[in-house]
Structure 1
Amino acid sequence: MTTHAPIKTSPIPSGAYSCQSWRIHEITHDFELEDVWALPVQGGPYDFRAFVEAMMSSDDRDFPAAYRVLFAVRWALGRMLGADEDEHGLGRRVASLRDRLPDDLRDHPAPERDDSPFQPLYLTDREYAAEIANRTMHGVLHLGWVEDESAPDGYSAQLSVLVRPNGRFGEAYMALIKPFRYAIVYPALLRTVGQRWETAQGVAR
């Protein structure tokens, strides 16, 4: 039976990401590791794709109101400041990391979500990666399925965020939003992801 690890309210050490032989290392040598979090999700060796599907669900109604309000404000400010216009995005201001993918990863495309600002890069049985770019930064969301001796079925999920800020403006922006990420975004994300996985496992059983 799959159970959940306790929800952590602080990031885990960067070594938890860097010590893994992730394929994402091959294409993000010029990115900075911004955050690494252990997710309250555990499963077996073949559960990762089901976890990604639950994690990337397009239904955001299960997120707390504070989380949804914060992101609504963020997108409103982005429209006002022009931060999310196409000219600042992938293939315009920055080249997509798809151009860096080794041939074997090109053969593992991830499903796309029309309403998501993230563009998927690849999906394997242990990794998922997606990217986003705007006026402030070029970012990567990475999900990994980590061998975990403390997990009943042997694996747990990890989330990492990598960024390449766009100059001093981007660095200032990342510093500005960091308190909101830690106080609101990540706690809500971890809680909701855990609930989604629990629901998905309940349906599977």
Structure 2
Amino acid sequence: MRIPKAAHTEQPWRIHEFAHDFRIEDVWSFRAPDAGPDDFPVMLDALKKAYDTRKAPAAVRFLFAVRWKLGALLGWDTPRAGLGGRVASLRDRLPPDLARTAAGAAPCTDPFTEVYQLDNEAARELANKTVHDIMHLGWVPTSDGGYELRMAALVKPNGLFGRLYMAAIAPFRYLIVYPALTRQWERAWLDHGRPQRHI
């Protein structure tokens, strides 16, 4: 479910310390029934397992296939356009206590790179010729005594080209990608997260 940007800015996340030059593009919440305060690492592991074992819906696979094909043809995703090439990694900004945390994170085959992971928040990043993107994940108590996952997309578009690109893909994000992501992530908790608490 899409939620106001204030739901991200009002939380005392560490990301606020060093990502002030990124704008908040989207903030979404994902249900995690029966989740407790210590289940954030469980949720992250469930998401990574789901990414590696579950196929995304056909419409989402098609959109990403088109995107990666365009990127290959136009040179959007070359190493020179990414982290350590066009832009420095967010890791270069981390204070020492956060810099040590990414090394222990479980690997995943998705395109994002780990930045840091704490008990209640984590950040991952992706950069190419269009944008430098941070996916921030946070674990937040709900009014009914449970917990939910919140995802904030923080972006730094690459000039006018990047801003136009973000505007062009916005309808696809809101109508196809994010609804599918919501179903996939909430299912990941039910399939790989919550059951582990009872083993």
Fold similarity call, TM over 0.5: yes
* TM-score category, normalised to shorter length: over 0.9
**TM-score scaled by length of structure 1:** 0.90
Give the counterpart of 1:13 among 1, 4, 11.
4
In structure 1, runs of 5+ residues without a counterpart are 1-7
Verify the 8 A CA contact 2:48 2:108 in the aligned structure 1: no
Q: Distance in 1 between matches of 2:177 and 2:22?
A: 21
Instruction: Give the 3 Å change call, closer, same or farther, for CA 174–139 of structure 1 in structure 2.
Output: same
Query: Structure 1 stretches (4+) deviating beyond 4 angstroms?
Result: none
Equivalent-residue separation in structure 1 for 2:57 and 2:108 (angstroms): 22
Q: Give the match's secondary structure for 1:159.
A: strand
Q: In structure 1, what is the equivalent of residue 59 of structure 2?
A: 66
Q: 1:75 aligns with which of 68, 73, 76?
A: 68
Aligned residues: 194
RMSD: 1.5
Q: Residues 1-205 of structure 1 correspond to what in structure 2 (within 5 A)?
A: 8=1, 11-42=2-33, 43-57=35-49, 58-59=51-52, 61-109=54-102, 111=105, 113=107, 115-151=109-145, 154-200=146-192, 201-205=194-198
Unaligned ranges ≥5, structure 2: none
Q: Percent of counterpart pairs with the same letter?
A: 48
Matched residue type, 1:163: V
| CA deviation map 1:23-65 (0-9, x unaligned) | 0111101000000001122410110001011112342534211
| CA deviation map 1:50-97 (0-9, x unaligned) | 101111234253421111111111111110111001110001100101
